[in-house]
Amino acid sequence: MNKWLRLGVIGVLVFLLIMVRSLGDRMFYDPFIDYFRNDYLYVDIPGFKFLKLFYHLMLRYLANTLISLAIIYFAFQKKSLVIFSMKFYAIAFVILSVIYYFLLRNGMENGYLFTFYVRRFLIHPVFILVLLPAFYYQEKLVKTKKFSG
């Protein structure tokens, strides 16, 4: 695929990530948006529905993950990287969801900050910021080893 076409597709995908982020307040149920924005200083944890919260959390994570996987595919055009990333995202979702569940279940007894950051990893496409440079570095390292040795 043409380099400029790939960059254009990646640009559209990044725009989609921005849209998920900007429209997320309206598209997904999340009673903690205002709480973590400023209310955590003044009020108790807001009431919420566990199943609804985790269903919408999963939908948002899935949307961000699918777009991120497409970015990885168009950036490197290697199915092996996409497969690795799929496994990474799945494992991360399970681990972070379980942690988030127990933090909410216990009323954020460990403080709001840990809960805030676990939630952030679940609702924002943070992992793409780690995976893209890692895959780029790995590709450069492999090319360097081919030429040196």
- Give 60: exposed, middle or buried? Use CB within 10 Å, 0-12, 13-18, 19+: buried
Residue 103 or residue 30, greater confidence: 103
pLDDT tens string 59-111: 999 999 999 999 999 999 999 999 999 999 999 999 999 998 888 888 777 67
Exposure string for 113-141, b = 16+ CB within 10 A, e = fewer: eebeebbebbbbbebbeebbeebeeeeee
Which band of pLDDT confidence, cut at 50, 70 and 90, is reported for residue 149?
low
In the structure encoding, which two tokens stand for residue 21, read together? 């982020």
Q: Which residues contact 110 (CB under 8 A, 6 or more apart)?
A: 103
The pTM of this model reads 0.86
What is the band of 34 on the pLDDT scale with cuts at 50, 70, 90? low
**Residue 126 reports pLDDT greater than 80:** yes
